[in-house]
């Protein structure tokens, strides 16, 4: 596949958008850390040289802010942050871009290609001969996405974290619905 041969494959290890390292060919490019202070949580994305490329600040109660500003003053605004809408990151400034993140794929809004400029594959665990073989999570960037790598990495981390949170809360809600209906299968699976 010629597109993949030209792509940059970043390793995300561990596969945890709150605290992880993102590397290329064994060299760490980015570190993601989460800090909690009272009711406030901050997620920071820093380069290996400790330069912050983006941060997200939100309260543990209520809806998170949909605006983010990096150290250079560039503002990012999340559009479509509501049920049934596609989540987009809009960068305002001299060189404006709109990125759309949709089910682990990133598209540039002005591109007409049906192919994503970046995509993510979660880590997998496979049992082989009594041992666990782990395939690390990867973020694959086409040459176009690699040109704006910091932006792609920052928006990916924030949005994938949000998506996983929604995925978990949706699963919890489905389990609650099953329990409320008095399902025997639910009672058996939880050990009651």
pTM for this predicted structure: 0.65
All domains of the chain, ordered by start, with CATH? 2-189 (2.40.160)
pLDDT tens column, 77-107: 555 555 444 445 454 444 445 555 444 555 5
Q: Distance (Å, rounded) from C-alpha 86 to C-alpha 100? A: 7
CA dihedral 54, 109, 67, 52 (to 10 degrees): 10
Q: What is the pLDDT of residue 183?
A: 35
Instruction: Please give the backbone phi and psi of residue 68, each rounded to the nearest 5 degrees, phi first.
Output: -135, 140
Long-range contacts of 26-34 (CB under 8 A, 24+ apart): 29/153, 30/153, 32/157
Q: Distance (Å, rounded) from C-alpha 177 to C-alpha 82? A: 22
Number of neighbours of residue 101 by Cβ within 10 angstroms: 25
Q: Which residues pair with 37 in a beta bridge?
A: 40
pLDDT tens column, 116-161: 778 888 899 888 888 998 999 999 888 888 888 998 898 889 888 8
Q: What is the pLDDT of residue 188?
A: 30
Q: Is 152 helix (H, G, I), strand (E, B) or coil?
A: helix
């Amino acid at each position: 596949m010629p597109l993949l041969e030209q792509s940059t494959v970043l390793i995300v290890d561990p596969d945890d958008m709150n605290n992880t390292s993102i590397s290329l060919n064994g060299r760490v490019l980015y570190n993601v850390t989460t800090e909690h202070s009272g009711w406030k949580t901050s997620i920071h994305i820093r380069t290996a040289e400790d330069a912050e490329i983006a941060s997200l600040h939100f309260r543990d109660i209520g809806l998170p802010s949909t605006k983010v500003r990096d150290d250079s003053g560039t503002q990012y605004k999340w559009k479509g942050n509501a049920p049934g809408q596609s989540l987009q990151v809009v960068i305002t400034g001299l060189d404006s871009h709109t990125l759309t993140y949709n089910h682990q794929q990133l598209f540039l809004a002005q591109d007409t290609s049906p192919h994503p400029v970046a995509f993510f594959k979660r880590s997998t665990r496979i049992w082989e001969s009594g041992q666990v073989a782990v395939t690390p999570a990867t973020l694959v960037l086409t040459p176009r996405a690699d040109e704006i790598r910091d932006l792609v990495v920052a928006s990916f981390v924030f949005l994938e974290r949000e998506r996983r949170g929604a995925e978990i809360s949706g699963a919890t809600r489905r389990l609650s619905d099953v329990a409320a209906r008095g399902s025997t299968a639910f009672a058996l699976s939880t050990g009651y």
